[in-house]
Structure 1
Amino acid sequence: MDAVADQIIHSDFCFHVELGRHSGKAAQLKYLDAADMQKLATEVNQNIKLTSTSKSMIFTGLMTGMRVAEVSALTWPDIDRQKKTIHVDKSWDYVYGKKFKKTKTESSIRTITVIDELLNHLKQLHALQIGAGLENSDHLVFLNNRGRIPTPGACDNLLKKYHDTLGIKRISFHGLRHTHASYLLYCGVKMEYISKRLGHKNSSITRNVYAHLMQEDQAQEDSRTINALRKIN
């Protein structure tokens, strides 16, 4: 309809089309459990290099829960090593010209507290960029040795490789966001905090998306339930 309005096409060829429906992935396939998360985090937090900044993007996504477009748009001024935070106020437009664009929603603008391991990882990456003398006028964090930001497809291909080599579940980059949130829920972090960390408008959105439990949490709750019921008898 937008294309018709912009006179790019003369008529809406999708008019009266009915979309077929497919069942979505089971909830447990969209994120890693804690054991797989640890395997992946260990793997991507080593051998930092400019020829594989997609690895650094994966580590950042796993440790922050940021969307892939938000990770791609990170610039060095967004990272505050003193306060140990990352500020999110833009995303990367892969479709129309590979440039900065607004975040998905107004609530997506946020500041995320991060761990020292991630800051040290990014510090090493920055040193490599400076040492290589990369032309980086936009101060992009994940610019590789060819002066480009890896695409979401490149990151997904690397995650597929880790699925094969590490024996972890097959997930997409967005699955890193689900993994991050699910792990925090498993650790008892409040839903309201996780909601703000992810950039959701309100906690009900977060609650609807992450109503499931992680594998370890499910087993723990099963054990608690059985022990509680045994006390009755």
Structure 2
Amino acid sequence: MASIVKVGKKYKVQISLYKQGQHKKMIKTFKNKSDAELWALEQELEKGKGKNLADRDTYFPDFFEHWIYLVKQKDVRESTFQNYQKALKIIQELFDGIKLKDLNDIVVQMKIDNYAQSHSRKTTHELLLKIKTSLRYAYSKGYIAIDFLPLVKARGEDKPKRNKSLSITDFRKLRTYLLQHTEDEFNILVLLALETGMRRGELLGIRPEYLFPYGIKVRESISPTSSDTSLKTQNSKRDVTINKEVYDLLTAIPVKSNGYIFSRENFQQSAKLTRLLKKIGLPRTTFHGLRDTHASFLFSQDIDIVYVSRRLGHVNIQTTQNYYLELMPEKRHQQDADALNLLSSLSKG
């Protein structure tokens, strides 16, 4: 049972806890007796529900570190786990000296808002998502008393999107240039990105044994931060067809000593792509932007979304819809015209 003792003008509450074979105490001081009695009753009720109150004195950064190594490391890819390790360093700085029992929506929101001042909304959202996931685990274990996480929101500035898809006109211009300059293997790599919608890591993971007439078996993904070559998701494992012209260019490339077709080039493909697009006079985009371009082009030609989703290796159709609802400019303009013509026809009837 809790004990309440008056010390001077304040009331000290002491609750006995039991953790890992040791008896511990949780102590808190209040200005009046009624508040002390209420808090003591709440804690005793929590103990009665099996909540582990002793762990609420754990510092949040320490808890997060234990959580990622004991729980998350077994559930995610090595490259994904490295993102959790990066988040740990940020959390150690943001939440230094803050215990689990001190956390609430106001404290977490203030820390996240502070982080958002120098980071994009997307980056802030990704950090907050990891924090929320860890604290939901803490709540299920009774380490925090209230699930306040729905109240915390990610804020920050929305920075211009770097991986914009190219228009159909620019898509054709780039494809024509690449086919006319196949002496550079990098141009074939970019061509494949346009033709297949494969991720950069998947392109770098192509081996000769993954080729078939006329297509590519997507079985590996090369990461600049990890030796793990497994694919992003189970659905990423797929067969992607290509036309004969591109297939012949791909099979003519000498296989590298490591068994892969394309050189990793110290993972400088993004910088090389920027220089290539500038040389041709095209808008800047990324390898993921080429993937977006491939998907947008297929949609502009009324290719079924189920096929596009499978070709891209998405988990489900909803993922495809969420990412690629925006049509290329030319297609959008055409649909605008079609919609207006349809509306005009109503008045003529």
* Common topology (TM > 0.5): yes
Cα-to-partner distance string for 1:193-214 (whole Å, 9 max, x where unaligned): 1011101010000001111111
Q: 1:73 to 1:100 in 2, by over 3 A?
A: farther
Give the corresponding residue for 1:198. 312
Superposed counterparts of 1:24-39, under 5 Å: 24-25=159-160, 30-39=164-173
Counterpart Cα distance in 2 of 1:155 and 1:226 = 43
- Show structure 2 runs of 5+ residues with no match: 1-63, 71-84, 96-110, 117-155
Cα-to-partner distance string for 1:132-183 (whole Å, 9 max, x where unaligned): xxx62x421113xxxxx2354x322232223323222210111010000000
Instruction: Report how far residue 5 of structure 1 moved.
Output: 4.5
**1:112 corresponds to 2:247:** no
For residue 62 of structure 1, give the secondary structure of its aligned residue in structure 2.
Answer: helix
Counterpart Cα distance in 2 of 1:156 and 1:64 = 18
For residue 92 of structure 2, give the secondary structure of its aligned residue in structure 1.
Answer: coil
Give the corresponding residue for 2:225. 95
- Show structure 1 runs of 5+ residues with no match: 144-148
Cα-to-partner distance string for 1:31-77 (whole Å, 9 max, x where unaligned): 0011101111122223334xx43222111111100011111111111
Q: Which residue identity does 1:202 align to in structure 2?
A: N
Counterpart Cα distance in 2 of 1:85 and 1:2 = 44
Instruction: Report how far residue 100 of structure 1 moved.
Output: 5.2
Which of residues 160, 164, 175 is equivalent to 1:41? Answer: 175
Between structure 1 and structure 2, the one with the greater Rg is 2
Give the corresponding residue for 2:92. 13
For residue 91 of structure 1, give the secondary structure of its aligned residue in structure 2.
Answer: coil
Counterpart Cα distance in 2 of 1:30 and 1:151 = 24
Q: Which residue identity does 1:118 align to in structure 2?
A: V
Q: 1:207 to 1:124 in 2, by over 3 A?
A: same
For residue 101 of structure 1, give the secondary structure of its aligned residue in structure 2.
Answer: coil
Counterpart Cα distance in 2 of 1:123 and 1:170 = 29
Give the corresponding residue for 1:141. 261
Instruction: Report how far residue 117 of structure 1 moved.
Output: 2.0
Superposed counterparts of 1:70-85, under 5 Å: 70-81=202-213, 84-85=214-215
State the aligned residue count. Answer: 211
Give the corresponding residue for 1:124. 252
Give the corresponding residue for 2:157. 22
- Higher RCO (C-alpha under 8 Å, 6+ residues apart): 1
For residue 337 of structure 2, give the secondary structure of its aligned residue in structure 1.
Answer: helix
Cα-to-partner distance string for 1:105-138 (whole Å, 9 max, x where unaligned): 111101111111210211232xxx27xxxx62x4
For residue 87 of structure 1, give the secondary structure of its aligned residue in structure 2.
Answer: strand
For residue 184 of structure 1, give the secondary structure of its aligned residue in structure 2.
Answer: helix
Residue pair 2:181, 2:187 contacting (<8 A) in 1 also: no
Residue pair 1:55, 1:158 contacting (<8 A) in 2 also: no
For residue 171 of structure 1, give the secondary structure of its aligned residue in structure 2.
Answer: coil
Counterpart Cα distance in 2 of 1:205 and 1:231 = 36
Counterpart Cα distance in 2 of 1:107 and 1:206 = 12
Moved more, 18-27 or 182-191: 18-27
Q: 1:110 to 1:2 in 2, by over 3 A?
A: farther
RMSD: 2.7
TM-score normalised by length of structure 1: 0.80
TM-score normalised by length of structure 2: 0.55
Cα-to-partner distance string for 1:74-94 (whole Å, 9 max, x where unaligned): 11111112xx12101111132
For residue 45 of structure 1, give the secondary structure of its aligned residue in structure 2.
Answer: helix
Which of residues 196, 203, 206 is equivalent to 1:64? Answer: 196
For residue 94 of structure 1, give the secondary structure of its aligned residue in structure 2.
Answer: coil
Give the corresponding residue for 1:150. 265
Give the corresponding residue for 2:333. 219
